[in-house]
Every structure is written in structure tokens, then in C-alpha cells.
Amino acid sequence: MARGDLISLAQLKAHLGVQSTGDDIVLAGLISQISRSICAYINRPFIWPRDVVDTFDGNGRDTIQLRHWPVVSVSSVSINGISVPPASSPMGAGWLLEPGDAEPPGAMQKVMMRGQAFARGWQNVSIAYRAGYQVSDESVAVPSNSPFFVEAAQPYGAFVCDMGVAYAEGSGLTLVAANPSAGQYALDGFGGYVFSAPDAGRSLLLSYGYAPSDLATCALEWAADRYRYRDRIGMTSKSLGGQETAAFRVVAMPDFVATALRNYARVIAN
């Protein structure tokens, strides 16, 4: 599964009922093309968790809408080169992150100021934050007996990238390619985590990026539609034995896909 793909080759082949490997290259190319087209349509350059630093024009108000969402965390806010601390309480001075939707996350979010405003200026506000579809600190326990394997719950969509593992007390584990030892873990690529015997029974916290189920379904249906279209390129209807005629609707994007994607679209360009 290439970085940025919303679905896997296996998922698309299962949906199409394709068992041979003859069209694997074609199907893989369709997945990447459709995934990029979806991100372009919803006006979002990325949806996997990523650290970004955005600059904004100070608006003289106490809120700024962040460009990317859902927001996992904000690491720093500065105005005119001066760092602003986070507010120690909801009514304390400093910045606050607007709470996002939790089940599942989806709404755009703002950074709000308490005790001051975002001073007017050109590109004078800098905000560093992590955004993207991420499950953070999912609590799991390593089995007491071999195999020391844990599968992520993936409640909102399929696993796409690892964002780290930590012990319940906070110290992090190290990702390795295979055969982990104490304090290490490996991945199977599908949301499975492999640990070692010394960590058996330990409580851990998993963080990982995922492809929202709605977007994955859109990619699956759109890619399947484009794959079937190659058997009738340019054809709008076909006579079946002179008894009946099958009509085909040719559109750039299926209507039901466009409808589902509207909920994920970015509609501002600040």
C-alpha cells in the first residue's frame, strides 16, 4: 500500500472479485490516482498525521481557523516572533485549541486566544501543530504468552501508518524491522504490532494514522467504477441480443462519491 493510498490492492481485488494477478499493476495505479483525486477534490493536501508549521496574517481577533484537521496537538504559537504560552485553564491567559469532534473526529478547529488578540500584521502569526486522522494512546496489553502480537482496534478506519508506541508510564518503545527485543516493536503493515517476551503482560499505548472509512469506501467504489469502464470506453449504450439495450452513465466521479466527500472538504483558504 503506497503512502497516501486510501485502500489496499487486496481490498480492491476482493471488492471486484478479481483473483488473478494479471491486472495488479493497473489496479495499483488506479488506487493511487483515485486517492490523489479525492484529496484534490476535498482540497486537502494530506490526511495522514503530519507535523506542520503554518503562518497566518494576524486578524486582530481572538481566533484563527487552522488549515488542516483534525488537530492532534499544538506545539507552539507565536505572534510577531514572540512565543505565546498555552492557557493553564479555560479562562487563563494564553492560547487554547478548540475541542474537535471525538466520535469520530472530523470538524475543523480554531486556536483561541485568552487575554490578547492575534495582532494585525502580514504573516506574523506562526502555529506549529500536528494534524491528520490519528488514534492517540490506544490502551492495549501485550499477551502473556507467545505470540506477543497485538492488533490495533482501528475504530474509524484501516491502519495506514504507525505514530509510535509507549509504555503506560510514558517512556517510548523503538520501532525495528523484525525480531524485537525488550523495549522494541515491529509492524506487520496492517495494524498488527509484534513485541518481545520481556514485554509480555505490559500495558502499552498505541498511536497510529488511519484512513477514514468514508473516504476508503469512496476510493473503493470510484476505483472499481473506473476499472469496469475500461471494458466499455466511450460506450453509452449496448444492445443485448436485439432484445434490450443497456445504457451506461459516463461521469468523471460517481454522484454518491461526490456527496460523501462533501463532508470532508476544506471550504476556506486562509
Calculate the average pLDDT of the chain: 90
**Coil vs helix vs strand at 227:** helix
Q: Report how far residue 222's alpha carbon sits from residue 30's, in angstroms, rounded to the nearest whole number.
A: 9
Residue with cell 524485537: 180
Q: Report how far residue 198's alpha carbon sits from residue 148's, in angstroms, rounded to the nearest whole number.
A: 10
Instruction: Supply the pTM of this predicted model.
Output: 0.87
Residues of the chain with pLDDT > 70: what percent?
Answer: 90
pLDDT digits (tens, 9 = 90+) for 170-206: 999 999 999 999 999 999 988 999 999 999 999 999 9
Cα angle value 161/162/163 (rounded, 5°)? 120
- Residue pair 197/206 in contact (Cβ under 8 Å)? The answer is no
Going by C-alpha positions, the residue among 182, 187, 186, 185 that lies closest to residue 199 is 182
Q: Report how far residue 131's alpha carbon sits from residue 128's, in angstroms, rounded to the nearest whole number.
A: 10
Number of other CB atoms surrounding residue 134 within 10 Å: 22
Would you state the pLDDT for residue 111? 97
- Residue pair 39/46 in contact (Cβ under 8 Å)? The answer is yes
Would you state the pLDDT for residue 249? 53
Domain map of the chain by residue range? 9-45+222-264, 50-131, 134-212
pLDDT digits (tens, 9 = 90+) for 123-153: 999 999 999 999 999 999 999 999 999 999 9
- Residue pair 143/74 in contact (Cβ under 8 Å)? The answer is no
pLDDT digits (tens, 9 = 90+) for 234-247: 455 455 555 664 44
Q: Report how far residue 169's alpha carbon sits from residue 186's, in angstroms, rounded to the nearest whole number.
A: 20
Q: Which three cell numbers stand for residue 105?
A: 473526529
pLDDT digits (tens, 9 = 90+) for 49-78: 999 999 999 999 999 999 999 999 999 999
Would you state the pLDDT for residue 161? 93
Would you state the pLDDT for residue 243? 61
CA-to-CA separations, 66 to 33, 41, 59, 97, 102, in angstroms, rounded: 27, 19, 13, 10, 17
More confident residue, 233 or 143: 143
Confidence of residue 117 (pLDDT cuts 50, 70, 90): very high
Mean pLDDT value across residues 28-38: 95
Q: Which uninterrupted H or E stretch holds 239?
A: strand 237-240
User: How many CA atoms, within 13 angstroms, populate the side-chain half-sphere of residue 75?
Assistant: 9
Q: Which three cell numbers stand for residue 78?
A: 507565536
Q: Which three cell numbers stand for residue 156?
A: 474509524
Would you state the pLDDT for residue 247? 45
Computed from CA positions of residues 133, 137, 139, 142, in that sequence, does the dihedral angle turn out positive or negative? positive
Would you state the pLDDT for residue 223? 94
Q: Which three cell numbers stand for residue 118?
A: 492575534
DSSP one-letter string for 66-114: -SS-SEEEEEEEEETTEEEPBPSSTTSSEEEEPPPP-SS--S--EEEEE
Confidence of residue 248 (pLDDT cuts 50, 70, 90): very low
Confidence of residue 168 (pLDDT cuts 50, 70, 90): very high
